[in-house]
Amino acid sequence: MRGEIRTYPARGTKERAELVARLADRAKFIRLETVRLAEIPGAGHYTGTFSAAELIASLYYAELRYRPDEPGWPERDRLVLSKGHAAIGLYPVLADVGFFDHRLLDDYTRLGSAFGDHPDMRKITGVDFSSGSLGHGLSVSTGMALAGRIHGLGYRVFCVAGDGELGEGQMWEAAMSAGQFGLGSLVCVVDRNGLSIDGPTEEIMGIEPLADKFASFRWDVQRIDGHDLDAILDAYDRLEPPGRGRPQVIIADTVKGRGVRRMEGDVGWHVGRLAGADYDEVIAEIRAGLQPLTAGGHDA
Partner 1 sequence: MPDHSVRPAPPEAPQASPGQNLSGLFRGTDEAQALKDPKSGKGIALTSVPAFVAGAELADLADTNDRIVVLTADLAHANRTIDFGIRHPDRFFNVGVAEQNMISIAAGMASTGLIPYAATFAAYAALLACEQIRTDCAYTGMPVRILGHHAGMSLGFYGTSHHSLEDLGIMRTIAELTVVCAADANQLRAILRASLSHPGPMYIRMGRGRDPQVYAEPPADFQIGRATRLREGTDLAIITTGSEVHPSLAAAERLAATGIGVRVIDMHTIHPLDTGEILAAAQQAGAVLTVEEHNVAGGLGSAVAETLADAGVAARFRRLGVPGVHVVLGPPAALYAHYQLDAAGIESAARQLLAGFGRPT
DSSP bridge pairs for 159: 80, 188
Residue 3 or 268 with smaller CB distance to partner 1: 3
Q: Give least dist CB 124 to partner 1, A.
A: 12
Q: Give least dist CB 142 to partner 1, A.
A: 5
The letter for the amino acid at 50 is F
* Residues whose CB falls within 8 Å of the CB of residue 181, separated by 6 or more in sequence, listed in order: 142, 145, 146
DSSP bridge pairs for 187: 158, 248
Q: Give least dist CB 35 to partner 1, A.
A: 29
Q: Give least dist CB 202 to partner 1, A.
A: 26
| Residue ranges in contact with partner 1 by CB under 8 A | 74, 80, 120-122, 128-130, 132-133, 136, 139-148, 150-151, 169-170, 173-174, 176-177, 180-181
DSSP bridge pairs for 199: 196
Query: At 27, is the secondary structure helix, strand, or coil?
Result: helix
Residue 141 or 193 with smaller CB distance to partner 1: 141
Residue 170 or 279 with smaller CB distance to partner 1: 170
Angle at 5 between CA 2 and CA 57, to 5 degrees: 100
Per-residue burial over 110-134, b = 16 or more CB atoms within 10 Å of its CB, e = otherwise:
eeeebbbbbbbeeebebbbbbbbeb
143-149's contacts with Cβ under 8 Å and 24+ in sequence apart are: 144/78, 144/80, 145/178, 145/181, 145/183, 145/185, 145/186, 145/247, 146/181, 146/183, 148/185, 148/242, 149/183, 149/185
Q: Give least dist CB 181 to partner 1, A.
A: 8
Q: Give least dist CB 184 to partner 1, A.
A: 16
Residue 59 or 145 with smaller CB distance to partner 1: 145
Cα 214 to chain centroid distance, Å, stands at 18
Residue 89 or 179 with smaller CB distance to partner 1: 179
Query: How many Å apart are CA 236 and CA 226, to the nearest integer?
Result: 12
Residue 179 or 226 with smaller CB distance to partner 1: 179
Q: Give least dist CB 93 to partner 1, A.
A: 20
- Whether residue 129 contacts residue 121, with contact meaning beta carbons closer than 8 Å, is answered with yes
Residue 144 or 263 with smaller CB distance to partner 1: 144
DSSP bridge pairs for 81: 160
